[in-house]
């Protein structure tokens, strides 16, 4: 069995299918790990969702900020944005089933020597602790009162982790770290405005503050681009902005990429 981790697809279905062809994806033998943001900004979110859902246990996808945006908009907690492109999902006859499936995806996945999250992990969290915190959010999203959680999920405060946090504040910090964060301090204070490569004064790229034995797979940061180090595989290579869609074969770290036409103005940020 071979596993391929794939960067932010964001509705770029044609590019995803071309990428799978480059490594002759075999649905019976291979597995796909998606770093989140299956939908939005690209033209074919519906096709991507249906394809990944139909893969069943051959695919693992963690939740990204655009995935959660689709869920909250479907449930009536967010207004449409002018650059949203998942109207095909909202208008589909199977929209409710697809969104329910998406809502119940994990926040984080770890297996063997790899851990996968959409955006990042705070310095105070070991992989085991982060997995436990991810389960707290997943339980809220899958539970019978999930709409109450969605109603309180958004916001940038608190912007710093504390083990004493509880209730909606606790869950919100976990979601923000795992789906929105790029920069933070060593004490776990997050910054959400900067989207380029250069950290604001007093902050660092979240991955520079970690010393994990596992390699962390992530996406979210198209301005950073593909970044592969001994303990990091950042796979958002900006497909929707005219960059590339990337896949990493986990067994030997072979890299596969296809060029993307670009569906948003270059220089933007997902």
CA distances from residue 39 to 20, 35, 270 in whole angstroms, order as listed: 18, 12, 11
Give Rg (Cα) of the chain.
17
The pLDDT score that the predictor gives to residue 264 is 75
Q: What pLDDT is stored for residue 98 in this prediction?
A: 98
The two structure tokens encoding residue 208: 């520079």
Q: Model-level pTM greater than 0.75?
A: yes
pLDDT of residue 268: 54
Q: Say what the pLDDT of residue 80 is.
A: 84
Rounded to whole angstroms, how far apart are CA atoms 105 and 203?
A: 30
**190: which strand partners?**
184
Residue 269's pLDDT is 57
Can you give the pLDDT at residue 1?
Answer: 86
DSSP string, 193-248: S--SSSPPTT-EEGGGG---SSEEEE---TTT--EEETTEEE---BGGGTSEEEEE
Report d(CA 69, CA 256) in Å as an integer.
28
Cα–Cα distance for residue pair 174/222, rounded to 1 Å: 21
Q: How many helices (H) and strands (E) does the chain have?
A: 8, 13
In the DSSP assignment, the letter for residue 55 is T
Tens-digit pLDDT profile for residues 78-126: 888 888 999 999 999 999 999 999 999 999 999 999 999 999 999 999 9
Tell me the domains of the chain and their CATH numbers.
Answer: 2-259 (3.60.21.10)
Q: Mean pLDDT in each 10-residue stretch from start to end of the chain (270 residues)? A: 96 98 95 98 97 97 98 92 94 98 98 97 97 98 97 96 97 98 96 92 96 96 94 96 96 97 67
Which pLDDT belongs to residue 266? 62
């Amino acid at each position: 069995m071979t596993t391929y981790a794939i960067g932010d697809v964001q509705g770029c279905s044609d590019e995803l299918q071309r990428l799978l062809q480059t490594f002759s994806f075999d649905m019976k033998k291979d597995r796909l790990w998606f770093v989140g943001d299956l939908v939005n900004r690209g033209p074919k979110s519906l096709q991507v969702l249906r394809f990944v859902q139909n893969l069943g246990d051959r695919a693992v996808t963690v939740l990204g900020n655009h995935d959660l945006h689709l869920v909250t908009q479907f449930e009536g907690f967010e207004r449409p944005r002018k650059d949203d492109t998942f109207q095909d999902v909202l208008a589909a006859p199977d929209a409710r089933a697809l969104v329910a499936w998406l809502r119940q995806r994990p926040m984080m996945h770890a297996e063997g020597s790899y851990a996968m999250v959409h955006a990042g992990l705070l310095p105070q969290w070991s992989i085991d602790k982060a997995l436990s915190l991810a389960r707290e959010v997943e339980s809220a999203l899958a539970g019978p009162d999930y709409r109450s959680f969605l109603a309180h999920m958004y916001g940038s405060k608190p912007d710093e982790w504390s083990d004493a946090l509880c209730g909606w504040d606790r869950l919100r910090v976990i979601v923000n770290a795992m789906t929105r964060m790029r920069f933070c301090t060593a004490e776990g204070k997050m910054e959400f405005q900067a989207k380029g490569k250069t950290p604001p004064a007093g902050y660092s790229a979240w991955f520079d503050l970690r010393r994990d034995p596992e390699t962390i797979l992530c996406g979210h940061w198209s301005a950073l681009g593909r970044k592969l180090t001994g303990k990091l595989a950042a796979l958002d290579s900006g497909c929707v902005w005219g960059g590339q869609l990337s896949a990493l074969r986990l067994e030997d770290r072979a890299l596969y990429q296809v060029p993307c036409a670009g569906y948003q103005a270059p220089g933007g940020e997902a």
